[in-house]
Structures are given as C-alpha cells and as structure tokens.
Amino acid sequence: MYPDEKVLVVPTAVFHQQGVFQGFCGEVTAYLHAMLDGGVMEFRPRAEVEKQPEWKQLIPYIIFRWTNAEGNRHIFRYTRGKGMGEGRLHLKHSVGVGGHISLEDTEDAGENDGYAVYRRGMLRERSEEVDIQSEILSDQIIGLINDDATEVGTVHLGVVHLVDMAEPRVFSRETDLVASGFVEMGELTRDMTGFETWSEIALNHLREKYHENSH
C-alpha cells in the first residue's frame, strides 16, 4: 500500500512523558522539543507503523485562514477524494492540508536536525497539495491534535499550523482534493457532519479561541 515509504515517527512513550491529552493542546513547545530535538525521532516503513500504536507519526496539519474587510474569518475547506493516501478518511471534509514527513526530507536539512527536517517536509507537503497565490501574512504552530479514540488517530499526532492569507487565493493541486475553497467560520461550524475528526477538533478550538458564532 505504501511501497518503500519511510516516515518520521517518535515513540508514543516519549509523547506520553510530556502529558497525554485527548483532542487539542495549545502548549506545543515542550512536546516538540522532546520529539524533534531529543534525538528520538526515527524513519520507519509506513506500512508497518500504520498498525503500531507504540509509534506516533508526526503530521503537519496546515489550516489556511482569510479575514475579509468586515473582519469575518474564512477557512480553506476541501473534500478528500478516493485517491488520497489515507483510505480511512476518504470522502471526509477537511480543513487541514499536509501529510507525512518522509526520509527524503532529510536530504538538505540534515537527518539529525529534527526541526529542519520537519519544516522541510511540511513545506514540501504544502506545495504538493495546494497552489498559494496570495501573500502569507503569518504562519504559526498553534497546537497539537491527538485522537486516540479512532484507529487512524492512535498512530498519528497532528501539528497544527495556522496560516493567515492576504487574499483567499489557495487552490488545490491534487485531483483528489476536491470541492475546495474558503468558507466562513460560522457556516463551517454550524454543521460539522461529514468532517474528519481532526477538523472537528481544530474548528472547535478556533471557534472557542476567537469566539466565532455559528449562524
């Protein structure tokens, strides 16, 4: 299913040592220091670690936000087509762009520099999935998502990036990243039926943090 692909993982035990949580956690510094700067990350065959909860695969989860002249916040949303890699998420709505950090991302970054490897992989995934035709106003890591209540969640840990755009000009590069575009937060959060779990968690956090109201 994932021929020869090796992806970045960290021991779940190292994650747990920093404090186990379910859902969203906005305190990221200690976790990332332990996982990326602690010499514990490895690259293992994806086909194996997808079934091994003792490892967490670090996944950049990039959310694009645009605020219009009236101050209304909009989030980039899409639907996952059947050709996208994670079969357990097919046809789910999502607000997060990103994917696995691969062994190839160590080529220029240096395999021992965890932060550089992670950022290189994040930027590669971002450029593969979307075409950004707007100035990026800010790009920040705002939290982590852990969901041990689902099969796919037990082997992944989301690193949530919030990217503020000057214009709503982010377009899909993937044929299986469909029905994409910016949608006002209130409309998104009014009914989250059909969204993948990570998107629900992220949207609920953003709604609470910025006091967004569902219409």
At residue 215, the pLDDT reads 42
C-alpha torsion 50→20→117→111, nearest 10: -80
Q: Tell me if 215 is assigned to some domain.
A: no
What residues in the chain have per-residue pLDDT under 50?
84, 86-89, 214-215
From CA 194, how far away is CA 42, in angstroms rounded?
33
For residue 22, what are its two tokens?
């379910």
Q: Tell me if 214 is assigned to some domain.
A: no
Q: Tell me if 35 is assigned to some domain.
A: yes
Query: Judging by beta carbons within 10 Å of its beta carbon (0-12, 13-18, 19+), is residue 81 exposed, middle or buried?
Result: middle
Q: Tell me if 1 is assigned to some domain.
A: no
From CA 63, how far away is CA 162, in angstroms rounded?
5
At residue 32, the pLDDT reads 95
Q: Tell me if 82 is assigned to some domain.
A: yes
Q: Which domain holds residue 144?
A: 6-209
- What is the count of structural domains for the chain? 1
Could you tell me the pTM of the whole model? Answer: 0.91
At residue 212, the pLDDT reads 56
CATH number reported for the structural domain that contains residue 108 in this entry: 3.90.79.10
For residue 185, what are its two tokens?
């937060």
Q: Tell me if 169 is assigned to some domain.
A: yes
